[in-house]
Amino acid sequence: QLQLQESGPGLVKPSETLSLNCTVSGGSITSPSFFWGWIRQPPGKGPEWIGSMIYSGNTYYNPSLQSRVTISVDTSKNQFSLKLSSVTATDTAVYYCASSPRGTWTFNWGQGTLVTVSS
Amino acid sequence: EVVLTQSPGTLSLSPGERATLSCRASQSIRSNYLAWYQQKLGQAPRLLIYGASSRATGIPDRFSVSGSGTDFTLTISRLEPEDFAVYYCQQYAASPFTFGPGTKVDI
């Protein structure tokens, strides 16, 4: 069974770039059966899909964040990553990595990591 | 973008009672591409049901869904103590995939 684990800094300064990694265990990130993605949840609010990618390289981003987001994969580490540039306080949230079975855009989530944007 | 609205915001019930949660979409969702998640305090959301009636692995049959088009309902037939949580709907018919604001089921 796939398990996903987020890692990265819990505090990022305004205007800087948020960078998170997600390590996949129990399966290969090169599997054509899954999309790999990121979702965030501000405190007390509903989740927001950030974007997803498949190993072959196709990426899909939320238009509201597209200009600031990059999702990429590192096959040597069985990881995928998120970079969100020019962050502000409104980017403070719990960030989750997630897998989606190919053919359905439902999500199975990692445990999440809180990222706070503050100077 | 498809906007999802959930009601009520909070549902106060007792174990053994029936819970009915509503999710309404700003436009019709094709092929019932709607999912429901359960989130307990401090935990990640967990997929419960997707599509017309497909339960995720390990989800008991007291959870069921109904509806089509723009109006969907999640029903918990008899609440167990572990069911008290926040429930989110999510549409995956059109990108960007969007979530509702949630319904809290508490005692």
State residue B31's pLDDT score. 82
Residues 75-104, chain A, touching B (beta carbon < 8 A): 96, 104
Is a pLDDT exceeding 90 seen at residue A45?
Answer: yes
User: What pLDDT is recorded for position B87?
Assistant: 98
Question: In terms of Cα–Cα distance, which of A101, A102, A104, A109 is closest to A22?
Answer: A109
The residue type found at B49 is: I
> 3-class DSSP state for residue B103?
strand
- What tens digit of pLDDT does each residue of B16-49 get? 999 999 999 999 998 889 999 999 999 999 999 9
Question: Residues A48-84: pLDDT tens digits?
Answer: 999 999 988 899 999 999 999 999 999 999 999 999 9
**Closest Cα in chain A, distance from residue B67 (Å):** 18
pLDDT at residue A3 tops 80: yes
Q: Do A111 and B44 touch (CB under 8 A)?
A: yes
Give the DSSP H/E element, type plus range, for residue B45. none
**Res A85 pLDDT > 90:** yes
In the predicted structure, residue A1 carries a pLDDT above the cut 90: no
Cα B75 to Cα B64: distance, rounded to the nearest angstrom:
5
* Six token digits for residue B17: 């009672």
